[in-house]
A and B are shown apart, each in its own frame.
Chain A
Amino acid sequence: MSRVDVRKTYKLYIGGEFPRSESGRSYPALDARGRVVARVAQASRKDLRDAVRHARNAQASWAARSGYNRGQILYRVAEMIEDRFETFVSQVQVTDPDRRRARREVTEAIDTIVWYAGWADKFAQIYGNLNPVAGPFFNISAPEPTGVVGIVAPQDSALLGLVSRLSAVLVSGNTAVVIASESRPMPAVTLAEVLATSDVPPGVVNILTGHTDELIPWLADHMDVNAIDAAGATPEQRRRIQEGAVHNVKRVVLDGEFGDRSPYVIAAFTETKTVWHPKGL
């Protein structure tokens, strides 16, 4: 008698748990030749709402951790991806069969996380400042996390694109709701399993798979989302994001113009707080 394979169910990642979509829906993930390789959960607006709620609840305590600690946790994520190196390579290969390129993408993803982890306790020194003012005051500016950030992950670079956008958002103390690449969802789901076992607190990262077009309006209109990284959105979707953003003046970052690694991406998801303190009293 032949054995039946035990196949993985590709689920969502919300609040540290792996639920199916509350809608019960799923959609097929295809390989490079158009064959169905898995069915992944198709998130609904209610899943997105739940994800934002968890991201909001997790945000204050994530931001309150020391930069050093956030850096350690991101480094731990890199360790866990390294540990599952071959799994990630084979999942990248589902849509991009070239093995050398796939290995390069996974390696690059790991190194990018380590690179951002290093910034966790340093970026504030670059973007903070003691401002010269015409009076007897210390005038100090310091960057603070924007809050809950929605990330429309890059469509083509399913792993590297996702981890580079995500790392930049997490470093400063934001929490994230990610809409994974619609056509290449599998590495994102496996990344969720990595995050769940890397000391990243529940709710800090939430990953949804599904139809980007269906989810974007709910994300764009959500009053409790403070910023959106539209890296993976089409021009049409970007317009929709900008329309929704007006209701609560969301910060919208339209493209990954700074590349996969840049401290400017960290800065894009921070707000500058300036305080005045009297001198010589």
Chain B
Amino acid sequence: MTLTPTRQAILPDRLTNSTLTSFLRSVPSVDEVAVAERVASLSTRSIKRESKAHALRMAISMMDLTTLEGMDTPGKVIQMSSKAVRPDPTDPSIPSVAAVCVYPAMVPYARQAVEGTGVKVASVATYFPSGQVDIGLKVEETRQVVEAGADEIDMVINRGAFLSGDYFRVFDEIVRVKEACGDAHLKVILETGELQTLDNVRRASVLAMAAGADFIKTSTGKVSPAATLPATLVMLEAIRDFWAATGVKVGMKPAGGIRTAKDAIRYLVVLNETLGEEWMSPDWFRIGASSLLNDVLMQIRWLETGRYQSADYFTKD
């Protein structure tokens, strides 16, 4: 197992399940009421018109435009990719999104569609969304997806192992998938909706970051609740403390259930208040979404025209 020395600094010297367990128990526990209060107060903050216009464009540039459906076809992926490059064909000033996120079989089509545009290709791997297979298969799938041209890998953690207390297995799987990624960025999906408590969200965040995650991500989008502001705040605070302890910056990606421009702006506010301006870039923050993009485009058009908009006048992706 290869570990990054700087990340390793926070871990116990000898890694076994029992040393990892006592290390994770020492992670500060989360005050759920305080988190809810903090999030609620940040959510009601009023944003001035110019700041909103700026935030909406920023949200687009941070978006991982996603389609993860059984009915995905090459045609749909190519269509979505062209929307990712030029979200609003009538307004070239709208930035491209950060990445398109697709299933492994769709990676070659997405790769071809965004080649040379600066938009990255992300793919889920490790038998998304359940991750319920042997680690050998997960590593193999990760290699194949990277070879097919993915710049970023979104893996799922082994929630079954995590909830039964087998932290070492969770850790080990992340390390091995990270190895298989090579140069590709690794985003680790915690699936916070299945972790039951915010304490677990915090522990899983620390575990993933120590194991080598470039990003930690809330959800697959296949489980309800998906991304929530409280879970996101807890993860952002874990990132902040990890940064303070090791000097390593880790990115954050809330995903799933973020459908309105208003929601997206709330996430940006929480990000700015927790990690500050350094993280306010697509290199360190992503929003995983599918229907969000149209709502943001409609809000931008509304700010520009003063007329409330209709979905009829925006392309379906």
Contact = CB atoms under 8 A, between A and B. Distances in A.
A221 B306 CA distance: 8
B306 A223 contact: no
Interface stretch (B131-139, B244-252, B309-317): B309-317
A248 B306 contact: no
B262 to A, nearest CB: 12
Contacts of A248: 310, 312-313
Contacts of B306: 221
Interface of A: 49, 52, 56, 218, 221-224, 244, 247-248
Contacts of A222: 307-308, 310
A52 B306 CA distance: 16
Q: Does more than half of chain B's interface fall in helix, strand or loop, or is it mixed?
A: loop
Contacts of A218: 308
Contacts of B307: 221-223, 244, 247
A86 B311 CA distance: 43
Nearest to B306: A221
A94 to B, nearest CB: 33
Contacts of B313: 223, 248
Contacts of B312: 223-224, 248
A218 B307 CA distance: 7
Contacts of B309: 223-224
Interface residues of B, number: 8
A247 to B, nearest CB: 6
Contacts of B308: 49, 52, 218, 221-224
A123 B22 CA distance: 73
A223 B308 CA distance: 6
16 contacts: A52-B308, A56-B310, A218-B308, A221-B308, A222-B307, A222-B310, A223-B307, A223-B308, A223-B309, A223-B310, A224-B309, A224-B310, A224-B311, A244-B307, A248-B312, A248-B313
B160 to A, nearest CB: 37
Interface string B288-317: 000000000000000000111111110000
Contacts of A52: 308
Contacts of A49: 308
A49 B307 CA distance: 10
Interface string B185-203: 0000000000000000000
B308 to A, nearest CB: 4
A221 B309 CA distance: 9
A224 B306 CA distance: 13
A244 B309 CA distance: 13
Nearest to A223: B310
Which of A49, A221, A224 has the largest count of B CB atoms less than 10 A from its CB? A224
Nearest to B311: A224
Nearest to B308: A222
Contacts of A224: 308-312
Interface string B247-280: 0000000000000000000000000000000000
Nearest to A49: B308
A56 B311 CA distance: 10
A123 to B, nearest CB: 25
Nearest to A45: B308
A52 B309 CA distance: 11
Nearest to A221: B307
